[in-house]
A and B are shown apart, each in its own frame.
Chain A
């Protein structure tokens, strides 16, 4: 949680209960995050991490973004029917649209590195590309 608070423009980092799981949630200040590129009043991020008990397998995760303009996207690693393998990126323009899915190969493997790679770099770059 402390690490997410360090990302410029990310605020109000807190835990939320999802069923019996806890997930990390935070708001993105749309005037600051992604250098103010987001054309929406509100934006937020949500992080889930599911440890894999089999030492030979990778942990599962979800680093996801939502905004009040309807766009949402995220980097996930879990079983799915959309791409070969576990790791993928998905996005959609509104909550009644279907997601587009793409296999991904992130640079980092550890949770903090992935946080900085996605929330700290790839996500703001994607938002700038979309909104600017």
Chain B
């Protein structure tokens, strides 16, 4: 790969002559307001992050990030925790759950959701059979067993992670099916 392409695609060492502005920042800013970018980043905060981190990721000032995160916290969309004087923000678990259930109901027919539940259960059964364990934690624990071949460790980790995703999704899908008639399409606004 020549140096020009390497620089374009983010491979190899960055060009020292460039400024520190992230690629795509200007295009993103042209198409969105500061509050939209903060919300967009906030909705993906699956682990606690500082306002400064959000500011960098959302291409806004730390002060702007802090202000909008405070508002999102008051609305119950993000949870705010302070430890040793450092405040961090993370998407609120209950809000995430409500949003995911609502989105499934809004986007899919009930029969489609039932079909995905069936397929998800089949994937979980396949994982149980393949790895001879009953839960993702047990599979992850196998990665540290002395008798686990080194070449299998990455596969076990990946499979455990996928399995956890299936378990979580199954739970959300089942709630979506249960509440489908209650949350008709026209009533869903989230």
Which A residues are within 8 Å of any B CB, using their own CB?
3, 6-7, 15, 17, 19-20, 50-55, 59, 73, 75, 78-79, 89, 91, 100, 102-113, 116-118, 120-122, 125-126, 129
Interface set, chain B 1-51, CB cutoff 8 A to A: 1, 4-6, 8-12, 14, 22-25, 27-28, 31-32, 37, 40-41, 44, 46-47
In the complex the two chains form, is B24's CB within 8 Å of A118's CB? yes
Dominant secondary structure at the A interface? mixed
Q: Which of B105-160 contact A (CB under 8 A)?
A: 107, 116, 119-120, 123, 154, 157-158
| Known interface pairs A51-B46, A103-B11, A116-B27; 7 further A-B residue pairs with C-beta atoms within 8 A, sorted by A's residue number | A6-B32, A20-B166, A54-B161, A55-B46, A113-B24, A113-B41, A120-B28
A104 in complex: contacting residue of B9, B119, B158, B166, CB < 8 Å: B9
User: Is B169's CB within 8 Å of the partner chain A?
Assistant: yes
| Chain A CB within 8 A of B92 CB | no
Asked whether any CB of chain A lies closer than 8 Å to the CB of B52, the reply is no
Docked CA distance A99–B156 (Å): 25
Interface size counted on chain B using CB atoms at 8 A? 42
Question: Cβ of B175 < 8 Å from any Cβ of A?
Answer: no
Task: Report the bound CA distance from A59 to B5 in whole Å.
Answer: 26
Asked if B10 and A75 sit within 8 Å, CB to CB, the answer is yes
Interchain nearest-CB distance for B132 vs A (Å): 21
A3 to B43, CA, bound (A): 13
Do A51 and B28 contact each other (CB < 8 Å), given the known contacts A117-B22, A117-B23, A122-B9? Answer: no
| Contact A15-B9, Cβ < 8 Å, known A50-B161, A79-B158 | no
Q: Is the CB of B1 within 8 A of A100?
A: yes
Complex alpha-carbon distance, A103 and B11, angstroms: 6
The CA of A116 and the CA of B154, in the complex, are separated in Å by 30
How distant is the Cα of A79 from the Cα of B40 in the complex, in angstroms? 27
A-B contact pairs, 19 of them (CB 8 A): A6-B31, A19-B119, A20-B123, A50-B162, A52-B161, A79-B157, A102-B11, A102-B12, A103-B12, A104-B9, A105-B10, A106-B23, A107-B23, A112-B41, A113-B28, A113-B59, A116-B28, A120-B27, A126-B5
Bound complex: CA of A106 vs CA of B28, how far in Å? 15
Asked if A121 meets B27 with Cβ closer than 8 Å, knowing A53-B161, A102-B6, A110-B41, the reply is: yes
Q: How far is the CA of A130 from the CA of B128 in the complex (A)?
A: 46
Query: Cβ of B24 and Cβ of A120 under 8 Å apart?
Result: yes
| From B11, B24, B57, B58, contact of A89 by CB (8 A) | B11
Docked pose: A51 CA to B6 CA in angstroms? 27
